[in-house]
Amino acid sequence: MTVRVRFAPSPTGFFHIGSARTALFNWLYARHTGGKFILRIEDTDKERNSEAFLKVILDSMHWLGMDWDEGPNVGGNYGPYFQSQRTDFYRQKLQELAAKGRAYEKDGAWWLRLEGARSKVFDDHLGREIEKVEAAPMVLDDLIRGRVERAEDRDFVIFRSNGEPVFHFVNVVDDIAMQITHVIRGEDHLSNTSKHLEIFKAFGVTPPAYAHIPLILKTDGPGKMSKRDRGALIEEYQQRRYLPGAVRNYLCLLGWTPANGQEVLPIEEIIRQFELKDIHQSNARFDERKMAHINTQTLRHLPRETFVSLAQPILKSAQVIDDQVTTERLNEVFAIVQEKVNSLEHLPEFVSYFFTDQFTKDPAALANLTKKGGDPAARLCEILPALETCAWTETDLDAAFTATGLAHQRKATDYFAPVRYAVSGQGGGAHLLGILRLLGQAKVLARLRAF
RNA sequence: GCCCCCUUCGUCUAGCCCGGUCCAGGACACCUCGUUUUCACUGAGGUAACUGGGGUUCGAAUCCCCAAGGGGGCGCCA
């Protein structure tokens, strides 16, 4: 049997990190098993449905590299994939239940009739009398949580009085119609599952396998990540120039651990290793620092050409470079800079001194200058003559620093920090002699004199 | 209030199923130190956890029970 999983978002105008991970786990499972990944849009709530909202989801899915085998823009044999276009089908399925006596109309809405003894009870919490049903508990063999038993004790609405079906109903009806084999969804749906199982039972259909994955909690404070928390929306990472592969990699780590313990790894490897039984049972707190770390690691290991092709437009839009700066030049620069880079977001500040004299100067780096080599201005005066007459290769530059150190009874490295600051405005960065080589003698001397 | 799920370093986790190899391992963060090539690098080191209580057992992070804590659900939202 071919695995068929689905991600069924509701287009509400944003793409939540929790939804992204649910989508990701479904996608990974489909790719791991060679099954089908289906995208179904749950837009039954007409109030909140719009073309623009849908676009947010599709764009984020694309950005994270999750492609679907059936759904919007690609079609499939089980469509339509928009629930707003399936209303007739839902009405038909409702009639089926009504004919079986498992659905009835009350107050203009349609209710699912549970099977069991009924009694009127006053509910303290709701503050009114309700009809309770002693229905048999629904037993779920969850792939992640094991056996979970829960009984529904009240009939519930499956079709609203305004003629629209409710989530529980369409969810099950479509899972049946689309022949979904595995439902991978957030643990917040665990309590809903007894309702869903009741609907499957009413239709006389064997339910799919379920896997309820843990939730993502706020970094600090109580509760799950909400759309208002920093880092909750995928578009934020896009804007901050995170690598989509790194975000995806981190998302995988929230609720799942690679077997060999290696955390930064290519998606092909994750697909190969991914098993539902390895998904954790407990919720995880979101930690952006760790995600930033994974982003940095991924960035540094990118092939040079890829890195340059990513960096080029960023530097251009930040007006650090113009069309005069060639790809060859960028290749030279990033040959020594890439391994030191932390993020694409801050790349312009990090490398601007290579391309412009208007680079920013880090006050903290300036404050640190006297720590090792004493008065920076004095050091620059001492090294200047040596650099003025130096042949411009790293070997010769190295010799110049050593010789100057010797002449003044100093360590050659006493000159590094002042020179670095004078030419780059920073306290760290790429290999210093490499920077000098790439900047060229004229620029270096000018900046040293200008200190 | 009722129902369901969960509980190992600050955080993410390994180990738990098949009790001894765990005075609990890794990663992020943090701290310290090293570097005649600086660091937003790299190397070395460090602080830090089995929620509590009862059992079972020669022996429990691992099995059982209870409590506490955390999370979720209880809509004519999805």
Residues A310 and A435 placed together within one structural domain of the fold: no
A88 is a domain residue? yes
Mean predicted confidence (pLDDT) in A46-73: 88
Residues A258 and A181 placed together within one structural domain of the fold: no
Q: What is the mean pLDDT of chain A?
A: 90
Mean predicted confidence (pLDDT) in A158-170: 94
Mean predicted confidence (pLDDT) in A57-66: 95
A64 is a domain residue? yes
A110 touches strand B (CB under 7 A): no
Q: Are A60 and A234 in contact (CB under 8 A)?
A: yes
For A310-363, what is each residue's pLDDT tens digit?
999 999 999 888 888 889 999 999 999 998 899 999 899 899 999 988 888 877
Closest amino acid to nucleotide B4 (CA–C1'): A191
φ, ψ (nearest 5 deg) of residue A209: -75, 145
Residues A407 and A368 placed together within one structural domain of the fold: yes
Instruction: Tell me the C-alpha distance between A223 and A42, whole Å.
Output: 25
**Nearest nt (C1') from A368 Cα:** B38
Instruction: Tell me the C-alpha distance between A376 and A370, whole Å.
Output: 6
Please give residues of chain A from 15 to 54 whose alpha-adjacent beta carbon (CB) lies under 7 Å from any atom of strand B. 42, 44-45
A226 is a domain residue? no
**Nearest nt (C1') from A339 Cα:** B41
Say whether pLDDT at A241 is over 80. Answer: yes
Can you give the pLDDT at residue A45?
Answer: 66
**Nearest nt (C1') from A44 Cα:** B78
Mean predicted confidence (pLDDT) in A381-402: 86
A433 touches strand B (CB under 7 A): yes
Q: Which two tokens stand for residue A177?
A: 């119609």
Q: How far apart are the first and last CA of chain A?
A: 72
Please give residues of chain A from 74 to 103 whose alpha-adjacent beta carbon (CB) lies under 7 Å from any atom of strand B. none
Percent of chain A with pLDDT over 90: 63
Say whether pLDDT at A442 is over 80. Answer: yes
**Nearest nt (C1') from A430 Cα:** B39
Instruction: Tell me the C-alpha distance between A151 and A194, whole Å.
Output: 7
CA–C1' span, A284 to B11, in Å? 9
A189 is a domain residue? yes
Can you give the pLDDT at residue A227?
Answer: 87
Q: Per the structure, how many domains does chain A have?
A: 4
Mean predicted confidence (pLDDT) in A110-114: 96
Instruction: Tell me the C-alpha distance between A32 and A71, whole Å.
Output: 20
A368 touches strand B (CB under 7 A): no
Can you give the pLDDT at residue A90?
Answer: 96
A400 is a domain residue? yes
Can you give the pLDDT at residue A127?
Answer: 72
Q: Find the domain containing A286 and state its range.
A: 234-300
Residues A310 and A189 placed together within one structural domain of the fold: no
CA–C1' span, A162 to B4, in Å? 31
Residues A128 and A9 placed together within one structural domain of the fold: yes
Q: Which two tokens stand for residue A39?
A: 């995208």
Cα A119 to Cα A12, A114, A135, A154, A158: the distances in Å are 39, 13, 12, 10, 21
A187 touches strand B (CB under 7 A): yes
Q: Which nucleotides of B are covered by protein (CB under 7 A)?
A: 1-8, 10-14, 25-29, 36-41, 70-78
Residues A134 and A35 placed together within one structural domain of the fold: yes
Residues A65 and A180 placed together within one structural domain of the fold: yes
Mean predicted confidence (pLDDT) in A204-225: 94
Q: Are A390 and A397 in contact (CB under 8 A)?
A: yes
Say whether pLDDT at A307 is over 80. Answer: yes
CA–C1' span, A211 to B52, in Å? 31
Mean predicted confidence (pLDDT) in A7-12: 92
Residues A315 and A295 placed together within one structural domain of the fold: no
Nearest Cα neighbor of A143 from A194, A198, A181, A87 is A181
Residues A118 and A245 placed together within one structural domain of the fold: no
For A17-49, what is each residue's pLDDT tens digit?
999 999 999 999 999 999 999 999 998 766 656
Residues A275 and A327 placed together within one structural domain of the fold: no
- Render the burial of A48-74: b for 16+ CB within 10 Å, e for the rest: ebeeebbebbbebbebbebebbbbbee
Mean predicted confidence (pLDDT) in A53-72: 95
CA–C1' span, A107 to B17, in Å? 50
CATH code, domain with A275: 1.10.1160.10
A224 is a domain residue? no
CATH code, domain with A412: 1.10.10.350
CA–C1' span, A333 to B35, in Å? 25
Q: Are A197 and A140 in contact (CB under 8 A)?
A: yes
Say whether pLDDT at A15 is over 90. Answer: yes
Quick check: bond before A80 cis, omega within 30? Answer: yes
**Torsion angle defined by CA atoms of residues A374, A418, A367 and A363, in that order, rounded to the nearest 10 degrees:** 170
A343 touches strand B (CB under 7 A): yes
Please give residues of chain A from 122 to 141 whose alpha-adjacent beta carbon (CB) lies under 7 Å from any atom of strand B. 124-126
Dmax (CA) for chain A in angstroms is 101
Please give residues of chain A from 276 to 295 whose alpha-adjacent beta carbon (CB) lies under 7 Å from any atom of strand B. 280-285, 287, 289-290, 293
**Nearest nt (C1') from A190 Cα:** B4
Can you give the pLDDT at residue A373?
Answer: 64
Q: Are A343 and A292 in contact (CB under 8 A)?
A: yes
Say whether pLDDT at A2 is over 70. Answer: yes
A405 touches strand B (CB under 7 A): yes
Residues A332 and A256 placed together within one structural domain of the fold: no
Q: Is A134 helix (H, G, I), strand (E, B) or coil?
A: strand
Q: Are A265 and A249 in contact (CB under 8 A)?
A: yes
A121 is a domain residue? yes
CA–C1' span, A293 to B45, in Å? 22
Mean predicted confidence (pLDDT) in A151-175: 94
φ, ψ (nearest 5 deg) of residue A183: -105, 110
Instruction: Tell me the C-alpha distance between A178 and A38, whole Å.
Output: 9
Mean predicted confidence (pLDDT) in A180-196: 96
Can you give the pLDDT at residue A134?
Answer: 92
A364 touches strand B (CB under 7 A): no
Q: Are A3 and A35 in contact (CB under 8 A)?
A: yes
Q: What is the CA radius of gyration of chain A?
A: 31
For A359-377, what is each residue's pLDDT tens digit?
888 777 777 776 666 778 8
A336 touches strand B (CB under 7 A): no
Mean predicted confidence (pLDDT) in A12-20: 91
CA–C1' span, A258 to B12, in Å? 12
Interface ipTM? 0.91
A227 is a domain residue? no
Residue type, A314: I
CA–C1' span, A162 to B49, in Å? 54
Residues A182 and A276 placed together within one structural domain of the fold: no
Most confident of A37-46, A166-175, A257-266: A166-175
Can you give the pLDDT at residue A158?
Answer: 96
Quickly state the pLDDT bin for A216 (edges 50, 70, 90): very high
